[in-house]
């Protein structure tokens, strides 16, 4: 079966082509050598990271010592930093800006060899709390237009340290991907006066063929125009444009932790624990988006390489239909 499908939000087309999974591959198998390394995220090595900006720890324990079960620290090798004040300037036909922003690491647990799939749901709830607390703190900076919270699991997913961690990067501009989601959602709203994400949720909940599971507050789907095998989205069922808003409703945080825990376990059990990227998409800090933007989480297993066609066109070839992916994860 070969089919072109269009993402209703950013109008990005995808080729769903099950045939191609049969292709022969003549490249060498990758063999990984055992790991021996000083881990800056382990107990006892707190001195080797910048001082923590948030930690959940035993009341008796001192900052930047052991006794914590979650730590947030500035990235030692930041992509952006508040040391540079925000300066914008032209340069011939080009535009540039100083590298103003925040780059933090959420050390999810003291345990070096664990994962979202293995850790208790209660620990994932702590991670979600850390996400939202830092999100709310950093958004107070008026120079910040967007906060990207994300997790890279595994080398193929771009992680450089294997100790379970997430990251937060706060930028002084609205990133292009978010901008095109907003443009797409706005034109849909202008046309139908409904949120496109809400319409996706209601069609998916009634069709059921791409819904992996739902909790009371969230639905977990394989999107209709999935770019990648087992691409998975977690969406709040009740419309909300702002990830930060879950802070005010603790049951939402609990329920999100539950959804993340379940999907992580399914990835480990059903599709052999792939490397993946988890990214939170939320409204940037500009007015007027509340009716048509809808925050959500996208999880992309890194099972296939991005090649020239995808780079050239932004047009993905996915050899596992989302209906099949949903069946594989649900069975």
Q: How far is the CB of 331 from a second copy (least distance, A)?
A: 24
Pairing of strands 232-236, 218-221: antiparallel
Q: Which residues contact 31 (CB under 8 A, 6 or more apart)?
A: none
Which candidate, 41, 159, 203, places its Cα nearest to that of 106? Answer: 41
Q: By CB under 8 A, name the one of 159, 205, 211, 303 that touches a second copy.
A: 159
Q: How far is the CB of 62 from a second copy (least distance, A)?
A: 26
Q: Over the range 201-225, which residues count as b (16 or more CB within 10 Å of their CB) and which as e?
A: beebeeeeebbbebbebbbbbbbbb
Q: Does 209 bind a second copy (CB under 8 A)?
A: no
Q: Are 274 and 267 in contact (CB under 8 A)?
A: yes
Q: Does 47 bind a second copy (CB under 8 A)?
A: no
Q: Are 231 and 248 in contact (CB under 8 A)?
A: no
Q: By CB under 8 A, name the one of 55, 73, 80, 256 that touches a second copy.
A: 80
Q: How far is CA 2 from CA 5, 105, 277, 319, in A?
A: 10, 41, 26, 9
Q: How far is the CB of 119 from a second copy (least distance, A)?
A: 19
Q: Using the minimum distance from each CB to a second copy, give the nearer residue, 58 or 183.
A: 183
165 is catalytic: yes
Q: Does 74 bind a second copy (CB under 8 A)?
A: no
Q: Which residues contact 312 (CB under 8 A, 6 or more apart)?
A: none
Name the catalytic one among 163, 165, 294, 296.
Answer: 165
Measure the CA–CA gap between 229 and 298, rounded to whole angstroms: 13
Q: By CB under 8 A, name the one of 24, 47, 60, 113 that touches a second copy.
A: 24
Q: Using the minimum distance from each CB to a second copy, give the nearer residue, 33 or 193.
A: 33
Q: How far is the CB of 310 from a second copy (least distance, A)?
A: 8
Q: Using the minimum distance from each CB to a second copy, give the nearer residue, 59 or 90.
A: 90
Dihedrals phi, psi of 85, to nearest 5 degrees: -75, 160
By CB under 8 A, what part of segment 271-300 binds a second copy?
277-281, 298, 300
Measure the CA–CA gap between 201 and 224, rounded to whole angstroms: 11
Q: Which helix (H) or strand (E) holds 167?
A: strand 165-171
By CB under 8 A, what part of segment 312-331 binds a second copy?
312-315, 317
Q: Does 85 bind a second copy (CB under 8 A)?
A: no
Q: By CB under 8 A, name the one of 125, 151, 165, 294 that touches a second copy.
A: 151
By CB under 8 A, what part of segment 105-134 binds a second copy?
none
Measure the CA–CA gap between 258 and 282, rounded to whole angstroms: 20
Q: Using the minimum distance from each CB to a second copy, give the nearer residue, 252 or 278.
A: 278
Q: Does 193 bind a second copy (CB under 8 A)?
A: no
Measure the CA–CA gap between 166 and 326, rounded to whole angstroms: 26
Give how many residues touch a second copy by CB under 8 A.
95
Q: Using the minimum distance from each CB to a second copy, give the nearer residue, 254 or 278.
A: 278
Q: By CB under 8 A, name the one of 82, 171, 226, 232 that touches a second copy.
A: 171
Q: How far is the CB of 75 from a second copy (least distance, A)?
A: 9
Q: Using the minimum distance from each CB to a second copy, give the nearer residue, 155 or 239.
A: 155
**Residue 276 CB neighbour total at 10 angstroms:** 25
Catalytic residues: 165
């Amino acid at each position: 079966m070969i089919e072109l499908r269009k993402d209703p939000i950013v109008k990005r087309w995808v080729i769903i082509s099950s045939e191609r999974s049969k292709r022969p591959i003549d490249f060498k198998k990758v063999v990984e050598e055992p790991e021996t390394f000083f881990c800056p995220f382990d107990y006892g090595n707190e001195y080797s990271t910048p001082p923590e900006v948030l930690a959940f720890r035993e009341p008796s324990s001192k900052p930047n010592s052991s006794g914590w079960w979650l730590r947030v620290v500035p990235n030692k090798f930041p992509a952006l930093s508040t040391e540079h004040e925000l300066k914008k300037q032209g340069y011939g036909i080009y535009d540039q800006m100083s590298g103003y922003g925040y780059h933090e690491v959420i050390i999810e647990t003291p345990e070096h060899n664990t994962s979202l799939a293995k850790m208790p749901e209660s620990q994932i709830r702590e991670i979600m709390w850390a996400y939202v607390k830092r999100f709310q703190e950093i958004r107070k900076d008026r120079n910040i237009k967007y906060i990207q919270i994300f997790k890279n699991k595994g080398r193929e997913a771009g992680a450089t340290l294997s100790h379970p961690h997430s990251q937060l990067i706060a930028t002084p501009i609205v990133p292009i991907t978010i901008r095109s989601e907003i443009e797409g959602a706005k034109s849909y709203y202008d046309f139908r006066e409904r949120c496109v994400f809400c319409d996706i949720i209601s069609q998916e909940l009634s069709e059921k063929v791409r819904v992996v599971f739902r909790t009371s507050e969230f639905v977990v789907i394989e999107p209709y125009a999935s770019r990648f095998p087992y691409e998975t989205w977690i969406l709040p069922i009740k419309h909300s444009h702002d990830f930060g808003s879950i802070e005010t409703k603790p049951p939402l945080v609990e329920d999100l932790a539950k959804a993340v825990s379940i999907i992580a376990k399914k990835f480990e059990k059903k599709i052999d624990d792939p490397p993946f990227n988890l990214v939170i998409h939320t409204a940037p800090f500009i007015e007027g988006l509340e009716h048509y933007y809808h925050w959500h989480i996208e999880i992309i297993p890194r099972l296939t390489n991005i090649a020239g066609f995808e780079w050239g066109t932004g047009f993905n070839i996915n050899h596992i239909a989302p209906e099949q992916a949903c069946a594989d994860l649900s069975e």
